Amino acid sequence: MVSSRFAAIAQSQTRNSIAIEEKGRRSELFGINVFNESKMLQYLTKDALESLKGAMVSGSKIDRKIADQVAEAIKGWAISMGATHYTHWFQPLTGSTAEKHDAFFDLLPDGTALEKFGGGQLVQQEPDASSFPSGGIRNTFEARGYTAWDPSSPAFIYGTTLCIPTIFVSYTGEALDNKAPLLRALSAVDDAATAVAKYFDKNVSKVNATLGWEQEYFLIDKALAHSRPDIMMTGRTLVGETPAKGQQLDDHYFGVIPSRVLSFMSDLEKECTKLGIPVKTRHNEVAPNQFELAPVFEEANLAIDHNLLLMDVMDKIADKHHFMVLFHEKPFAGINGSGKHNNWSLATDTGVNLLSPGSTPMKNLQFLTFFINTIKAVDTYEELLRSSIASAGNDYRLGANEAPPAIFSIFVGTQLSSVLDELEGVSKGKLSPEEKTELKLNVVGKIPEILMDNTDRNRTSPFAFTGNKFEMRGVGAKTNCAKPMTILNTIVAKQLKDFKKEVDALIDKKALKKDEAIFNVLREYIKTSKRIRFDGDGYSAEWESEAKRRKLSNNRNTPEALNVLTSKESLALFQSMKVMSEVEVRARQEVDLENYILHTQIEGRVYNELVYGYIIPAAIAYQNILIKNVSGLKEIYGAAHKKFSEGQLTMIEEIAEHIVSIKKMVDAMTDARKKANALKDTKKKAEAYCNNVKPYFSEIRLHSDKLEKLMDNQLWPLTKYRELLFIK
Ligand code: ADP
Ligand code: MG
């Protein structure tokens, strides 16, 4: 009965690291599988190249004739690289990516075989969309979905398939994916930030949001992972007694990377490099068998495509190395979970990072403008930003003393805090020449030096300023970054738009100079957004009560967190920034709730299987051994047996009690599940799963873990934490 656990352990012991050849430089490998600029130069006519570049940079339309030329060029390149198929690669609301492959191969009516790929196939495709979640959009509009080419993210070859990044929309134009709203949010932030950046430099004509993600993950031997039904079905362990040694010795973090893992990483990095993903950093994370990978930051849309592609490549390469990658936010209880920090900034087409202080007072005023507007945006829309990282998996991690709490706050550090304090004292209206000089010399002018030695870091803050960018730390490891990035860029766009209006009004109506007007508006923002700034310990109980006093939201679970999406204010925001229509927002809320229900439901079912199929049978088997032992002792010693069987008798009783309780809990959970399933309203159903079903999980787990501790190791059927976490 227990053989599967021990067979898996035996198999995991036979693994050797696969030798990965490191020939040549990474820079020479970079992007060889991507239809990037150098290939465009080689394969495209001048007209087509210009038209495509226009579409990439400014989103201008490509006409059909040019599309045909581009398709022909991409086909030529792809076939020369050995590609046989093409696919529109898109991001349905399930959170991952989808693809449907078509062969280039085609037959003409006369039977001639050839390779075909025209502009039509490049620009648009119609996958059977009916099984992707649409949150009711398709029912409402009876519309089918189609995918449309996103020229701002280059086509690439993966295996033998040419992948064309696309958006996925219904025929009536509603976005059915995560990319379309993202592109709209990026365009909104481009418009708003460009207009504000022009106060400082007229030559700015485009602003890109930049994103550098840091992907955390666990790597578990494939045989061991497959021996656990919970890992197979839910991506995490639902039961498991904490091993004697966990992460308390801190001996894994930044430690020597095990050789099997290193060979996986090298293989992965090579593949990523070919795909144009600029991977840079790799290291061990805090928990045993936990690792991190981070690239050089890129324009946000491309960075997001690259993160999604990375997760896919990781699965495949891990399989080759006999590993399974766990992207779940909390695969193991009692041990750190995995997140995906999103480092975010804004960069102009003139090469300036708008969140980086510069060498002149004016450049620093520009920095302060974007810095303070971001703070103000997060203050106004903190709850909406929180909603963008809500998921069943992330509920296990947020606020668990290893990741930021569900309360949003911003860390700016003591030095920048004092700059903000000084700016708060700027006079209303016109500034005297003395005040201007003072501001230039001693406040704004000092910023670069200040930041140079600004070494204070706060790991407990969910939104921290780290010198030249903000770092959003609560994003889950599995999350599609498009979700938080859509919200963040939308709220910053809205804020910058409002800011511009206010500054222009002061210039026009109050005849203030530009810098005076900017100082005046920023001063008010600093005053009104104070509650969001917090430099203390975000994990502490004091912060929780302080945050409550400041009226900051603290939505601890997904159903609660998603409410705000459809508030009057949120809907108005999305509409005014042209990011999502009301139908699109409601659809996303519905899909996210549905996802939450399904994940919790699956966990509930797996608990059922674990308890009845593994835990109770094993407990009974061991109990029977004890019973047999006690009767044997009784046979030999008669009434005197008690002296020798006292321990066994207590154990028999303890096991019996755990069996009774765990069975009760699982049955009660199943009843709660049935009641929840009967609810028609998605929100009510999600709440029922959250409040009535999920609380049983930890109870069930408690009894299982107690049994695991009590039982004969040889009879315990589920691969133990020790084995999952320390076999490398
Ligand atoms: P840390 O000390 O946290 O490791 P790094 O400077 O190494 O800080 O950056 C961490 C992450 O931030 C990297 O993934 C990097 O690509 C990203 N990053 C750096 N600058 C920017 C930027 N301007 N915009 C977006 N991401 C950035
Ligand atoms: Mg980080």
Model pLDDT for residues 674-717, shown as the tens digit of each residue? 999 999 999 999 999 999 999 999 999 999 999 999 999 999 99
CA–CA dist 532, 518 (Å, integer): 21
What does each C-alpha distance from 242 to 126, 220, 237 come to in angstroms? 49, 17, 11
Q: Which of 22-26, 434-438, 465-469, 580-584 has the lowest mean pLDDT?
A: 22-26
Q: How confident is the model at residue 455 (pLDDT cuts 50, 70, 90)?
A: low
> Would you state the pLDDT for residue 329?
97
Average pLDDT (570-582) is 98
- The pLDDT confidence band at residue 100, using thresholds 50, 70 and 90, is confident
Give the CA dihedral 489, 490, 496, 498, nearest 10 degrees: -170
By mean pLDDT, which of 343-357, 372-386, 436-450, 477-491 is the weakest? 436-450
Specify the residue with its C-alpha closest to ligand 1, atom 6.
Answer: 466
405 Cβ inside 6 Å of ligand 1: no
> Which pLDDT score, from 0 to 100, does residue 607 have?
98
Instruction: Indicate whether residue 296 lines ligand 1 (CB < 6 A).
Output: yes
* 396 and 532 within one domain: yes
Residue 71 CA to ligand 2 centre (angstroms): 39
Ligand 1 in contact with 211 (CB < 6 A)? yes
**pLDDT for the residue 250:** 63
Q: Answer yes or no: is pLDDT of 135 > 90.
A: no
Rounded Cα distance between 39 and 36, Å, is 5
In the block, tokens 């971001």 appear at: 374
Is the pLDDT at 196 greater than 70? The verdict is yes
Query: In whole angstroms, how far apart are CA 568 and each of 183, 558, 571, 573?
Result: 23, 19, 5, 9
Q: Do 535 and 639 share a domain, yes or no?
A: no
If asked whether residues 164 and 246 sit together in one domain, one would say no
In a domain, 17, yes or no: no
Higher-pLDDT residue of 156, 22: 156
Residues 547 and 626 in one domain: no
Under 8 Å between Cβ of 124 and 149: yes
Give residue for tokens 């030559």.
203
Most confident of 85-94, 247-256, 397-406, 617-626: 617-626
Residues 559 and 606 in one domain: no
CA angle 382–556–307, rounded 5-degree value? 70
pLDDT band at 454 (very low <50, low <70, confident <90, very high): low
Q: Residue 673 domain-assigned? A: yes
| Ligand 1 lined by 592 (C-beta under 6 Å) | no
Give 233's pLDDT tier (boundaries 50, 70, 90): very high
> Does residue 514 sit in the same domain as residue 417?
yes
In the prediction, which pLDDT does 254 show? 63
Q: Is the CB of 467 under 6 A from ligand 1?
A: no
User: What confidence tier does 446 reach under pLDDT thresholds 50, 70, 90?
Assistant: confident
pLDDT attached to residue 452: 63
Quickly state the pLDDT bin for 64 (edges 50, 70, 90).
Answer: confident
Least confident of 176-180, 455-459, 706-710: 455-459
pLDDT in tens, 390-400: 999 999 999 77
pLDDT at 2: 55
Q: Band the pLDDT of 24: cuts 50, 70, 90.
A: confident
pLDDT of residue 285: 81
Cβ of 481 less than 6 Å from ligand 1: no
| Helix (H/G/I), strand (E/B), else coil: 280 | strand
* pLDDT for 456 beyond 70: no
- Among candidates 244, 231, 489, which has minimal Cα distance to 384? 489
Q: How far apart are CA 459 and CA 228, in angstroms?
A: 33
Instruction: Please name the helix (run of DSSP H) or strand (run of DSSP E) that holds residue 312, with its range, or none.
Output: helix 300-320
- What's the confidence (pLDDT) of residue 728? 78
Residues 606 and 403: beta-carbon distance below 8 Å: no
Q: Is residue 505 a part of any domain in this protein? A: yes
Inform me whether the pLDDT recorded for 107 exceeds 70.
yes
Same domain, 110 and 249: no
Round the average pLDDT of the chain to a whole number and report it. 93
Residues 256 and 170 in one domain: no
Which CATH number covers residue 53? Answer: 3.10.20.70
Residue type, 274: K
**Percent of the residues in the chain that have a pLDDT greater than 70, as a whole number:** 96
Answer yes or no: is the C-beta of 145 below 6 A from any ligand 1 atom. no
Query: For residue 389, is it within any domain?
Result: yes
Q: Are 438 and 385 in contact (CB under 8 A)?
A: no
Last residue of a domain, one of 147, 177, 207: 177
C-alpha–C-alpha distance, residues 390 and 187, integer Å:
24
Higher pLDDT, 456 or 559: 559
Say whether pLDDT at 634 is over 80.
yes
pLDDT grade for 251, boundaries at 50, 70 and 90: low
Domain housing 39: 31-177
Residue 536 falls within a domain, yes or no? Answer: yes
Shortest-distance ligand to the CA of residue 299: 1
336-377 per-position pLDDT tens digit: 999 999 999 999 999 999 999 988 888 999 999 999 999 999
Q: How confident is the model at residue 22 (pLDDT cuts 50, 70, 90)?
A: confident
Mutate to test the pocket of ligand 1, among 207, 459, 469, 472 (most ligand atoms within 8 A of CB): 469
What are the beta bridge partners of residue 294? 281
In angstroms, rounded to a whole number, what is the distance separating the alpha carbons of residues 414 and 586? 41
Q: What mean pLDDT do residues 108-137 have?
A: 84
ipTM: 0.96
Q: Which of 528, 545, 580 is the last residue of a domain?
A: 580
CATH code where residue 703 lies? 1.20.120.1560
Q: Sort 484 into a burial class: Cβ within 10 Å, 0-12 / 13-18 / 19+.
A: buried
Check whether residue 387 and residue 492 sit in a common domain: yes
Measuring from atom 11 of ligand 1, which residue has the nearest CA? 212
**474 & 500 share domain:** yes
Q: Is the sign of the CA dihedral 482, 485, 490, 491 positive or negative?
A: positive
Residue 451 lies in a domain: yes
Q: Do 208 and 349 touch, CB atoms closer than 8 A?
A: yes
Structural domain contains residue 18:
no
Q: How far, in Å, is the centroid of ligand 2 from the Cα of 215? A: 9
User: What pTM was computed for the model?
Assistant: 0.96
Residues 127-142, mean pLDDT to the nearest whole number: 68
- Regarding whether 546 and 601 lie in a shared domain, the answer is no
What is the CATH classification number for the domain harbouring 527? 3.30.590.10
Structural domain includes residue 182: no
pLDDT at 134: 80
Count of domains for the chain: 3
Domain end among 113, 148, 177: 177
Q: Using the 8-state DSSP alphabet, how is residue 18 labeled?
A: P
197 shares its domain with 48: no
